[in-house]
Amino acid sequence: MPILIGNLTNPGADPVDGDKIRITYPSGAIEIKTYYAPVDPDPVMIRVIPTHEFLDRFTDDELSLIWRLAQTNDKIHGWTIWLGRQAIVNLDAARITTPLQMGVTAGKITQERMNAILA
């Protein structure tokens, strides 16, 4: 006989956090407890830092290049405006990684330098 779980809070529905459930074991023993969904054992870490710390990772020459390029490229200009309005940045977000990868592709920075900025 398999273990049977019944939702006492909302009979017939799958249990959600906080529901009272009845667990019937193969031996016939019954346990009533509060259900909580299993916790992901390997949660994804979000790497977020203050924007000023992100900008501090660039050299003066790199920042100067970004500002010069922003004068002639609308996408870079928009990115610098967006970045300036952020209190924090997620180092893994496409909005941060894509412009840096574009810099690598264009030969403006090396892959190693990009990795250091995003470390």
Query: Looking at the 3D structure of the chain, how many domains does it have?
Result: 2
Tell me: do 30 and 55 sit in the same domain. Answer: no
Tell me: do 29 and 62 sit in the same domain. Answer: no
* Residues whose CB falls within 8 Å of the CB of residue 24, separated by 6 or more in sequence, listed in order: 3, 4, 5, 6, 30
Tell me: do 22 and 54 sit in the same domain. Answer: no
Q: Given phi > 0 = left and psi -120 to 50 = alpha, else beta, which region is 107?
A: left
Contact 109, 66 (CB under 8 A): no
Is 40 a domain residue? no
- Only one residue has tokens 């501090």, namely 56
Tell me: do 59 and 111 sit in the same domain. Answer: yes
pTM tops 0.75, yes or no: no
Q: Is residue 90 very low, low, confident or very high in pLDDT (cuts 50, 70, 90)?
A: very high
Helix, strand and coil in the chain, % to nearest 5: 40, 15, 45
- Whether pLDDT at 85 is above 90: yes
Phi, psi for 50 (deg, rounded to 5): -60, 145
Contact 90, 96 (CB under 8 A): yes
Q: Annotate 35-60 with b (16+ C-beta within 10 A) or e (fewer).
A: beeeeeeeeeeeeeeeeeebeeeeee
Full residue range of the structural domain in which residue 26 is found: 4-34
Q: What is the per-residue pLDDT across 10-63, written as a single tens digit (0 to 9) for each? A: 999 999 999 999 999 989 899 999 999 988 788 788 899 999 999 999 999 999
Tell me: do 61 and 99 sit in the same domain. Answer: yes
Q: Over the chain, what is the mean pLDDT? A: 92
- Only one residue has tokens 């090396």, namely 110
